[in-house]
Every structure is written in C-alpha cells, then in structure tokens.
Structure 1
Amino acid sequence: MSFNLAIMLRESATATPGKDFLRFPSGAMTYAEVDERSGRVAVALRKRGLHPGDKVAVQLANVPEFVVAYFGILKAGLTMVPLNPLLKAGEIAYHLDDSDARMIIAHAAGAVEVSAALKELTGVHAVVVGDLDTGAWPEGTLAFPALLEPADDRDLFPGAADDTAVLLYTSGTTGRPKGAELSHFQLYMTCTLGSERFGAEPEDVALAVLPFFHVYGLSSILNASARHGRTVSVVPRFEVPAVLEAIQRDRVTIMAGVPTMYHALAYADTTGYDTSSLRIGSSGGAAIPEEVLRRFEDKYGIPVLEGYGLSESASTTTVNPGADNRKILSIGKPLWGVQLRIVDETDQPLPSGQVGEIVLRGHNITKGYYKRPRETAEAFRGGWFHTGDLGYVDADGFVFVVDRKKDLVIRGGFNVYPREVEELLYRHPAIGEAAVIGEPDERLGEEVVAVVSLKPGASAEPEEIVAWAKERIAAYKYPRRVRIVDELPKGATGKIAKLELRARLRG
C-alpha cells in the first residue's frame, strides 16, 4: 500500500491553504506555504543523491526550518532522525554513525559540536540553518536556503505505509541509545486516534512548547495538528513569560506539557495576561504530582488529562477519556486498537489491582530497534512490547503507573540514561566508582544525582566533578548533585546495589 505521513500536510493545505499552520513570535506560515516549501526540500534532497530509506538527521529547536525539513524528508521517502540540539560532539557522532545518516541539518549555533562530530565520520553532509560561516563547517556544507529552490514534488514516489518515517533514539536499561523505527502508518494512527480521544477540534490552537525532536511534541502536537488542520502556536523555548504571551497573542486553547512546565505555570504571576482561551491541557513524560495538577487546574480553570506513552509507541498509548470521565492520577485507558496488559515476572497476566509490568501491542508500537535484532526480540518476547514500567489496572479499566522498573531518570521530561552518565564519570581521573540515580525533585520531577567513590590517594570536590561533567555531556544529562562516599553498596555478585543506595540517601 502506498502511503506517506506527509499526506496530512497536503490534505490540510488543500482544504485550508490560507490558514495559519505555524505561528511564531516573529510571524506565521500557512498550510500552503509549509506544503510548498517542504516539497522544494524533498526534491532538493533527492537531487543531492539521497534515495528512499536514507537517513537525514535534524538537530534543530522549534524553528520553522524544523517543520519544513521534517515534511520534506517524509515527502522524499527518506527517514528523519531527530536529535536534541544540546548533544555534544561525541553524542552527535554516535547517533549519526549508528543511524547510518547521510546528512545532518543543524543550526549555526551548534557549529563547534556538529563540526567536531563530522570529523569523526565520512560520507555525512551538513546543511546549516542560520549564517553559514564556511570556516566553521566542513567543505561542501550547504546553507538551508539551497534546499528551497523552486521545484515540484508531485512526481516523487510516496513510499509504503510500513516504511520507516522516523528513527527515534531512546535509552533502555543496557547499552547506548537505540533507534526505534516508527513507520508512516504507526505515526498516522497515533496522532489521529490520540486527537480523537482528546476531543481536539480543527478550530483549536495548540501550544507547541514541547520540543519537536521529542516524540511527545512531534506526534501529539505537530503531527496531530497537521492531521486535523489545526493552528500551532510555537514557543521555541519554555519560559513562563513567553508561554503566557503566546497563549494571549494566539488565543491558545490546548496546553500540552510535562509536569515541570505545569509546576512553573501553576506558581506563575499571570497579572496582565489573558489566558481565558485555554480549554484543556495534557500532561505526559512523567507522573504529575496531584498538588501541581490541582493548583494548575484551579488557577487556569481547565482540566489536565494525563496520558502515557513512549518513544517506542509513537507517543500516545493511553489517555484519560475526557474531563467528565477521567480519573485523577490515572494515565487513562488504551487508545482504540492498542492492547495493554499487566504481567508478572514470568510474563503471565495479572488480575485487576495487582502491580506488574506494563506490556503493549497494537498499531502504534515500533517496528523494532534499528540494527538490533537481539534487543528487539527481548523487548517483544511473547509478542508483547515490554515497557519496563510497573503499574496496575483498576476494576474500571483505568491504568495507573506506580514506578519504573528501569533505572531511567526523567528530568524535566527528558530521558537520562544513568549508565551513559556513569561511563562518562568513570573517565574522571579521580573517580573510582560511580552510580547515577534519580532523586525526587519538586520542579523537575527527578534530578540527576551521582554518588561516587574516589581512587586511593585521589581528591576531588563535588562542585569540580559537576563542572567537569557539564563540559562533556548534554545539559539535561549532567549530574547537578554529586555525593562522595567511601564505598558504594554492592550485592552478592559485586554489582552496585542502587536500591540500597537510594534507601541510604533517603535516610
């Protein structure tokens, strides 16, 4: 079956060509404009030797070029690899190499890190958004406008529904980040059904402060809005005044965010801002504290529906079924066509009310991990995708998450993989052993904490270790707190006992 996710943009552009698709503080772009410009990008990419299935990395914040590049990549039958702009050179190089990317589209502000990463690779070309300083980039680097020469994309083959549209990197419990392959059909179904469950309408204006490089912002905001012809009010970076200004300026009706955003807005001074256009909110990425939820709802007078999803599920898997039928602190019920089960340690189903691992299957679950058949088989054992999250289903079918089976730390909605940070810390000349855990944080949900022991005769101060790590890893990953101990607790096999470590720190 021939199908391409970008058909959502084309259909909305045909139905409402002059309607604003994207609104930025600096101006707006209509559906017709985004459709036309992304078509130019598609033709330009194919003319530069890229073929269906090739990977193009996009390392941009919420700027117009991200959206134009995204739909252009899809129209060309290529696969987009979204990357966080905060990644450092070594991390960028890893993602480009592991994904077999042939091109990276990045912002001029990232010249130092991206250029350093490209020196470690061959066959990866760069396209720069912003001022192109030829001295800072490899020879042959293009400026983004070079992809916008007039062209007609109507003769491009759209590809198949099961082709990989997005290769989204995610961290698990072992190894380095893995690329989850999400097809055109999977992403289409998720954004379509998620919007229907949420009760969104074409007249709604959705706030896009969640990063588009993250599955939540990409699928639940950008894709969902394109699918249903909605307007998106884009805020490039979360700052309370900027969010309040956007809500007032664009008459935003839908707020989508992670708990840290709701926390900041719940305690914000809204004097002088008109937020009366808001009618509903959604929260994901981590569990939202009840106190924050109620304070936000009381302040803004709207319900916030909590949902649940993963990179591997193309974002939404469950969501509460409307303000009148929700259960506070529940993640709701599965979307149409998605099956959810709670299982024990032997993968046997558990009855209502009993806590076990959440496993999933359905139209939205990843095709698998790119070039990782062993990890894919393990994750999909028994025909169900194992999330690593613990929860239960109540008698009414509502799902509740109670804990994470994985050691993953979710800081401000961003996933931080402890082993990756630990491996970095082991490179510090004074550190003998290291363990990274998450500690509860009222504002961020969790904070990254490193507990280390030093090598014999070595000395280091916590502040120095924090500064050292900050220079070598993305800003959301480095530990803000470092605790130095004589010895880390270990189990019988010699493995660091993180459960005991957490208990000690709480005590």
Structure 2
Amino acid sequence: MLNLAVILRESAVAHPAAPALIFEGHRISYGELDAQSDAVAAALTARGVRPGDRIALQLPNVPDFPVAYYGILKAGAIVVPLNVMLRAPEIAYQLADSGARVLITWSALLDEAAKGAAEAGLTELYAAGPAPSGAARPFAELTAPCPGPLPLADRDAGDVAAIVYTSGTTGRPKGAELTNLQLYLNADIPGRLFDLRRDDVVITVLPLFHVFGMSSTMNVGIRFGAALSLVPRFTPEAVLTTITRDRATVFDGVPTMFAALLAHPDTAEYDTSSLRVCISGGDAIAARVIDGFEQRFGVPILEGYGMTETAATITFNPTPQDRRVYSVGRPVWGVEVQVWDPDGHPLPPGREHLGELVTRGYHTMRGYHGDPAATAEAFQGGWFHTGDLGYADTDGYLFIVDRKKEIIIRGGYNVYPREVEEVLHQHPDVLTAAVIGIPDERLGQEVKAFVVTRPGRLQDADAVVAHCRERLAAYKYPRIVEFRDSLPLSGAGKVLKKVLH
C-alpha cells in the first residue's frame, strides 16, 4: 500500500505543532492541516466518493488548496488540478476528459467554473473563498471536523494519484497520469538532494495547480516537515515582503520571477538575508539573470529540469558546491537520461552532439489518460521522449539548447501554438493563421499570431486579440497580431514557422 497522503500524516505525527502553512502572517500547524484534510476526506467519502474517482481542484495558493489536495488523496480519489486562468470551454474539456465527478473552485472563479461544469454535465460544485454565490455549495461543508485521525484509503504504489493536464504539439490537452510512487519519490529524492530541513520556510508562489508548485514545492515541503509560506500571486513586492516577514530560507521560481526580482529597484529595503538557496525550473534561465541575482542577493540558484509527465524532476544541480552553472544538472537518483539522434541512437558527450533528450525511471507518468496512442508515441523505444534538444558534457551534466516541439513558454507557462491557432480559425474573418513565440525580455517569450484574413474582410488586430482573450486563459492569447497576404509553405503544404519572426 502507498497513499501519497502519507507524507502529510507522517510529518503530522512527528511534529504536530510545527507550522505547515503560513498565509498572510497566520500559521496552520501540521496537526491542524492533517485534521482539516481528514475532514475533507470524510466528507467526500460520505458523499459517495470512492477510491479512483476524480476530483477537480481549481484554487490559487491559499490554505484550502493543500487541505483539499491531501483530503482528496486520503479518500483514495485522484486529484485533477485545474489552472485558475482557464476559461469555461477549457474547464469543460478537462472535466469531461478526466471524468471528474466533483469540482472544488475559488469563489472569484465561479462564473467560468460554473459554465464549464454545466457544459461538462458536472453538478457537484463547491467554492472556497469569500461569499460564494448560489451556483456552488460552500467548501466549508467539506471541512466540518471529524473524529480522527482518519485511516488513509488503501492505494497501491502504481495507482494514479493525480491527473495533470499538459499538451502536445497538436494542442489537444492530455492528462498525464501521475502515480503515488512517482509523486512520492519526486518529493523524497529532490528534497534530499538540496537538503530541505524541518526548520526551512519555503516561499510557495509557484502555482500549486502546476506540477512544479504541486510536486517540487508543496509535496517536497510537506514530506520533510518544512513550512510553506503561501503567496497567491507573484509580484516582486509580494515575494520580497513575504521573505522579510517570514524569514524564508528557500525560494522556488521560474526564470521570469528571478528576472523580475533582479530588476526591482528597491530590493535593498527588504531583508532577504534569511535565504539560503533558490531553485529555478520551468525554462532555461539566462546566464545574466543567474549572475546578477546571485551577486545582488548573495544566494545560489540551483537549476533543474523536468516536465509534467515526470512530476517533475529529471535532472538537478544538487548543491552549490557540485553544481555546473548554466547547466540543468545531472539525472537524479533512479533516473536515466540519454541524448538521441533522429534515428534513436545514443549520442556521445559534447556540444557538437545535439539531440533529443529521452528518459526512463520511476519518475515517468503511467501514461496519458484515455489516450493509449499518445502514450505509445511518447514512450517509443521504451524511453520517454521529452521533445527537448540538448547535449551532455563528459561529466554527465545536461544542457538544454532548444525545443524540438513548438511549445512557447510565456512567463513559465506552456502555450501550445496549435491550440491558439484553432481558436483563431474560429474567428469569422480569419482564413488561416500561425502562432509562434518571439523573444521577450520580461516573460522569456511572447505569443505572436500571423493571420491571413478572408477576402474583403477588415484587418482588425484588436478584434482578433479580443476573440482569443474570451476563449483562452490569460497567458495563452496572442498580444501581437501581424497580418499577411499569405503564409510561407513547404512543398508538403505545411507552414514554415522557422521563417516567421
């Protein structure tokens, strides 16, 4: 038996009075978090939820997220985290595709969530936060105290604990099935690598609905009994204020966060001397950002590499002494990584031997939910194909150079061009469209659309942007629209995106 919620239960047994969550200066102990998540598990079970049922969770970084997350796991159900920026059609798709029977959302998100739930035929909807409307029942109904501790539902190591949605080059979201063992080891091994301690205070500003925040921050912190200082929305001021107030020791972020902190003009007004280590992931971090940040704040940034399907860690720079700056590190314990040429042959070390990174080990997903064809394609040759291009040096340190797939990473979020293109093609004036990412100093990449309009139609960039904004999450819609008479095509009729810029 292995139920991922054991990481909370064991920390609560060992140190019940220690702080588990810090939110706006208030503290929730491990004993309290364990009891509150027990209440959620008991309430869900009383409402007919059974092991293996899917429960969707759409919350920002507030205490209700870990309370609900571990409660769902304790009941033996599967967590389906949803991005808080999704629009109703996106919510409906993920609810229907996962087969979720319950949605727990945030009151400020209720309009879109309720529309999405209705479209998916889901009727059991709860909302946390202030004054939820009559469209949902209050989350408080699921948190009434129960006699405890509640026994954890019997789950096997290979059973799915979470379904986290990602996308491939087709833009169709796919649910990566992450198992109890996969998520447990992805909490245990990385936490040991950078020596997370029980007295650490971890800035938790990475979205908990994203695999980086969920697995590499929340689960790691709970596994080792650290305190998670929850920050619902990233701004440099919010993070710097929280570090100062809570004497935070660990900061996990994406490169755009480090760049924004580095660019903040008044960092000297905050006391960040408590920080001992920072961890960067989600995208390659610029050398100038690493160098400038470390010089300004006097704390090392350890860079790692992972993805949703690996929940999330593949490689890591384990310590400031052993790291190789500008590298994403070496494979963590139990994980194999090779660099393959297009014919599936392993390449030797060296920058000149650039190929696709493939990996295998305990860290890979069980598969894509309900999509055996996509699963088989991803695991060709028995290895998981990352779609990223890179090389290894002679010591096994890996360097990511480019993306084989056309994924755009905007501010740490993956944007899939095909998904945006499909929305563009729904506009009545659009004949055809192509979407690419262009360099952006603040966000890493920005979304740009090239549009060919139907004959005689008005070329109105604002209308195209508004059309996308109504149908896509805020980080996905294009901010830049360029109209063309035609798009460059290959002999096979495919758009040559490499010549667009």
- TM-score strictly above 0.5: yes
Q: Report the secondary structure of 1:101's partner residue.
A: coil
1:83 aligns with 2:82: yes
| Counterparts of 1:156 and 1:339, CA distance in 2 | 32
Task: Tell whether the 8 Å contact from 2:282 to 2:412 is kept in structure 1 after alignment.
Answer: yes
**Which residue is 2:179 aligned to?**
183
Task: Tell whether the 8 Å contact from 2:13 to 2:31 is kept in structure 1 after alignment.
Answer: yes
**Which residue is 1:127 aligned to?**
126
**Which residue is 1:340 aligned to?**
337
**Which residue is 2:294 aligned to?**
297
1:224-281 residue CA offsets vs partner (Å, 9 max, x unmatched): 0110000111111001111111000111111110011000101112132100001111
| Counterparts of 2:132 and 2:321, CA distance in 1 | 55
1:394-443 residue CA offsets vs partner (Å, 9 max, x unmatched): 11110000000000111101111111100000111111111111111111
**Which residue is 2:441 aligned to?**
442
Q: Which consecutive unaligned segments of at least 5 residues does structure 1 have?
A: none
**Which residue is 1:210 aligned to?**
206
Pairing of 1:89-488 with structure 2 (within 5 A): 89-135=88-134, 137=135, 141-151=136-146, 152=148, 154-268=150-264, 269-353=266-350, 354-488=353-487
> How many pairs align?
497
Cα separation, partners in 2 of 1:298 and 1:188, compared to 1, 3 Å: same
Task: Tell whether the 8 Å contact from 1:43 to 1:153 is kept in structure 2 after alignment.
Answer: no
**Which residue is 1:490 aligned to?**
489
| Counterparts of 1:281 and 1:243, CA distance in 2 | 13
| Counterparts of 2:37 and 2:102, CA distance in 1 | 17
What amino acid maps onto 1:345 in structure 2?
A: P
What amino acid maps onto 2:256 in structure 1?
A: T
| Counterparts of 1:174 and 1:440, CA distance in 2 | 22
Q: Shift in Å at residue 202 of structure 1?
A: 1.9
| Counterparts of 1:220 and 1:119, CA distance in 2 | 33
Q: Shift in Å at residue 392 of structure 1?
A: 0.5
Q: Which consecutive unaligned segments of at least 5 residues does structure 2 have?
A: none
What amino acid maps onto 1:485 in structure 2?
A: R
What is the RMSD of the two structures over their aligned residues, measured on CA atoms?
A: 1.2
**Which residue is 2:17 aligned to?**
18
Q: Percent identity?
A: 50
What amino acid maps onto 1:57 in structure 2?
A: A
Task: Tell whether the 8 Å contact from 1:198 to 1:319 is kept in structure 2 after alignment.
Answer: no
Task: Tell whether the 8 Å contact from 1:450 to 1:479 is kept in structure 2 after alignment.
Answer: yes
**Which residue is 1:57 aligned to?**
56
Task: Tell whether the 8 Å contact from 2:160 to 2:180 is kept in structure 1 after alignment.
Answer: yes
Q: Shift in Å at residue 321 of structure 1?
A: 2.5
Task: Tell whether the 8 Å contact from 2:3 to 2:152 is kept in structure 1 after alignment.
Answer: no
Q: Shift in Å at residue 26 of structure 1?
A: 4.8
Q: Report the secondary structure of 2:283's partner residue.
A: coil
Task: Tell whether the 8 Å contact from 2:93 to 2:120 is kept in structure 1 after alignment.
Answer: no
Q: Report the secondary structure of 1:120's partner residue.
A: helix
Cα separation, partners in 2 of 1:496 and 1:318, compared to 1, 3 Å: same
What amino acid maps onto 1:150 in structure 2?
A: P
Task: Tell whether the 8 Å contact from 1:248 to 1:274 is kept in structure 2 after alignment.
Answer: yes
1:197-220 residue CA offsets vs partner (Å, 9 max, x unmatched): 122222211110100000100111
1:336-395 residue CA offsets vs partner (Å, 9 max, x unmatched): 000001101111111111110000000010000001011101110111000000010111
| Counterparts of 1:180 and 1:325, CA distance in 2 | 32
| Counterparts of 2:251 and 2:484, CA distance in 1 | 43
Task: Tell whether the 8 Å contact from 2:260 to 2:442 is kept in structure 1 after alignment.
Answer: yes
